[in-house]
Structure 1
Amino acid sequence: MRAVSLVPSLTEAVARTLPGVLVGATDWCSHPADLDVTRIGGTKNPDTERIVSLAPDLVIANEEENRAADLDALRAAGLDVLVTEVRTVPQAFTELDRVLTACGAPLRPAWLRAAEAAWAALPEPAGRTRAVVPVWRRPWMVLGRDTFAGDVLARLGVDQVYAAHPERYPRVPLAQLRAAHPDVVVLPDEPYRFTADDGPESFPGLPCALVSGRYLTWYGPSLTEAPRALSEALRAARR
């Protein structure tokens, strides 16, 4: 089996479960750190000719992260393209099963079983927290409806202020974000790299939780550690 992954979290899942199967991955596929494959460009602008030249048996993609036009071009070149859709934590486990099986995994890996157990063992939240979750600035964009990251937070007792917005990633002026008076502002380090010096200063007087985007938006081996890591970051921000 030869596979190319256009999704960083799925790259990590396949590489950890089936070493040697991946022959290509995007420039943004940063895990595992020692991944040695041909780089084929970004998730939104892959080099389709390079992918075709690798002669993969399967190309792994995602309906949100990758453009339909690129996937159509790969299919037109005769490649088999598996497209995932992940909007909830349970859906992530189902799609991970599907991807790993398609790549030749004979059994569910231990990390996937551990991740499911970690999420199943979550206690009922003692209370609910209202949050604004920016994912970009210049312009400011936040989590809206029907997102994987939103479902992750909801299972940890965090309700997004814009969860009912008609757009999945609405643009909201900073003044409106502040006026929403959230209990906490959640600032991930991807897709925009919010840091202690880039983000919190825009929300004076509001607790800000700097979190790893890998725990908030990736669906793969990081799901095992995500409940603990995100819960600790949220608690620390509100102390």
Structure 2
Amino acid sequence: MSPRGAVRRVVSLVPSLTEAVAACAPELLVGATDWCSHPAGLDVTRVGGTKNPDTDRITALAPDLVIANEEENRPQDLGVLRAAGLDVLVTEIRTLDQALRELARVLVRGCGLPRPDWLDDAEAAWRELPAGPAELTAVVPVWRRPWMVLGRDTFAGDLLARLGVRNLYAGHTDRYPRIPIQELNTRGADLVVLPDEPYRFTAQDGPEAFPGLPAALVSGRHLTWYGPSLVAAPDVLAAVVAGAR
């Protein structure tokens, strides 16, 4: 992909990427999803959800670039936008290394921006990880009703592995297996990791389903978002996991 010239109007269909662009050049953003919550007070046209964007509204905004993700957004919606003549950049992010590369691709090659300092800071933060406990094994639910857990090949699973937390279901054939709670295997698990998104697990909603296991209630933004939050993520996540022991 060659660098895009004169990108002045960007629509983001991914909360993480919205925050990444806003941290560098907020004036470029003209549209974002209803779920794009960072930065606070972001004043752009809202274009629906990640899974059900209003493609007519996006087209009417006449963006120079639409940024998306192969996991967050549906191919059929992106196809409609392309058919309308819009330039759509689709990221694939399943590991930290991939996230760092794709962020550079979106910001530098896609939007024509200088490489941001926070991206270098994120690389350094994950290169110089805080000392943690010996390796732990965890079950990591991401949804309830029905129960879903992290399986193989996920960005969040890669972050946890780098912090010494092995995902009990990392070898599952599915990336996000649906497993009824009565069938969920916790044998060999040292703790359960409960993020506050996409499902909002809390101290009152989640830990009670795993009696006898310590619960680490973690920030979903630090576990699942790829953007400026990656700078603080290793310290934030490591502290919560250590506190749950």
Q: TM-score surpassing 0.5?
A: yes
CA distance in 1, matches of 2:161, 2:9: 37
C-alpha contact 1:7 1:61 (8 A) present in aligned 2: yes
Structure 1 residue 27 and structure 2 residue 34: aligned? yes
C-alpha contact 1:178 1:203 (8 A) present in aligned 2: no
Matches within 5 A, 1:1-239: 1-101=8-108, 102-105=110-113, 107-122=114-129, 126-177=133-184, 179-238=186-245
* Secondary structure class of the residue paired with 1:30: coil
CA distance in 1, matches of 2:202, 2:228: 24
CA distance in 1, matches of 2:183, 2:129: 33
C-alpha contact 2:132 2:238 (8 A) present in aligned 1: no
1:74-116 Cα offsets, whole Å, 9 max, x none, are: 00000000000000001101000000011120x2111111111
TM-score (norm 1): 0.97
* Secondary structure class of the residue paired with 1:131: strand
Q: Percent same amino acid among aligned pairs?
A: 71
* Secondary structure class of the residue paired with 2:81: helix
C-alpha contact 1:87 1:146 (8 A) present in aligned 2: yes
TM-score (norm 2): 0.94
Distance apart, 1:127 and its partner CA: 2.0
C-alpha contact 2:193 2:217 (8 A) present in aligned 1: yes
Consecutive unaligned residues of structure 1, counting only runs of 5 or more, are none
CA distance in 1, matches of 2:37, 2:132: 32
Distance apart, 1:181 and its partner CA: 4.1
C-alpha contact 2:137 2:191 (8 A) present in aligned 1: yes
* Secondary structure class of the residue paired with 2:240: helix
1:41 to 1:4, Cα distance in 2 relative to 1, 3 A = same
CA RMSD of aligned residues (A): 1.1
Consecutive unaligned residues of structure 2, counting only runs of 5 or more, are 1-7
1:1-36 Cα offsets, whole Å, 9 max, x none, are: 100000000000001101200000000000000211
* Number of equivalent positions: 237
Moved more, 114-123 or 87-96: 114-123
